[in-house]
Amino acid sequence: MQYLSEFARCDLCEWKCGVNRLNGERGVCRAELPQIAYTMLSRRLASYSVTMLGCSFRCIYCNAYRISQYPDAQWFYRDYVEPERLAAEAMSRMMPDTDKISFTGGEPTIHLPYIEEVVRIIQKKDPDIGVGIATNGFCTQKTLERVIDIATSISYEIKAYDDDVHRMLTGAPSTPVLRNASVLATDARENIRVFRTVVIPGITEHQIARIAAFIAEIDPSIPYRLIGFRPNFILYYHPGPSKDLMNDLTEQCRDAGLTDVAWSGYYPTEIPGGSEAEVAAQYLRRAGCNRYPRSCGDCELRDRCPACLLEPWG
């Protein structure tokens, strides 16, 4: 298992801890062997998605902190899966319109040798299968080069532009993230799916225009997506953004020169009007359930219930 040898002295991310993950030593990411939280088929992304455990950041607003802060969060998941087995599972479960396997987390690049091995096995059987990677960008330059070599679709998150804000949010400096973003946008523009930032009122809202100007200076056509913060983890009691704020920030990004900007998610400041049952019904209709009152036992959609979507944002 040659692909595991790098984990004997792990320097994949910018922390360069040098720990022996094969012998149970843990660096900032707390990871030992590459471990999987779960897998799923994302129809919206036409992708078989693999969620990896562990992360090089410790974000105070992480909506997947039980995954990113594994094992300290004391939730337990699937564990290590041999690359051959994961590749076989992915190939067997892909739908006819599934054109790639994607890796997210946590932070997948801290497990890159393992991912490369899974991809090698899959593409040996089907060279046309693409590879998606969602990353926080805190990898070394050498690791980034390898990511670019295998990924056909990269979602890249810039948490903040200013170093002090980035450090307080993530526990890590922003310089490597901005450096890698510039390299990615310059050397592998065609591999970029989106750059994105989570909008946290009072914390990152004033970072957005700076990030937009940074991206626009490199390539104004790069897609930039603003994601509305939802109260979570250490920021459990911190409010999310309003629609007006998301629209305003989108315009600021366009004023900075970006041509492809969009946002998703906001924090409702008011409860919808109507009776108690009607308030619940409004959210259900938004998800695609039009039964009023609900009666799941005799619903014709019970085997494909839109209210049970794993990706309600889609």
177-229: pLDDT as tens digits:
999 999 999 999 999 999 999 999 999 999 999 999 999 999 999 999 999 99
Q: Are residues 211 and 288 in the same domain?
A: no
pLDDT mean across residues, the chain: 93
Q: Are residues 193 and 297 in the same domain?
A: no
Question: Do 160 and 267 reside in the same domain of the chain?
Answer: yes
Packing angle of the helix pair 175-187, 141-150 (nearest 10 deg): 40
Assess whether 186 and 307 both reside in one domain. no
Mean pLDDT across 158-171 = 98
* Count of domains for the chain: 2
Q: What is the model's pTM?
A: 0.91
The CATH number given to whatever domain includes residue 47 is 3.20.20.70
Same domain, 232 and 301: no
CA proximity to 213, closest of 247, 173, 249, 176: 249
79 is in which domain, residue-wise? 2-280
- Residue of 39, 38, 40 lying closest to 309 (CA atoms): 40
pLDDT in tens, 105-150: 999 999 999 999 999 999 999 999 999 999 999 999 999 999 999 9
3-state SS, residue 117:
helix
- Determine the residue type at 268: P
Per-residue pLDDT of 47-79, as tens digits, reads: 999 999 999 999 999 999 999 999 888 888 888
* 81 and 222 part of one domain: yes
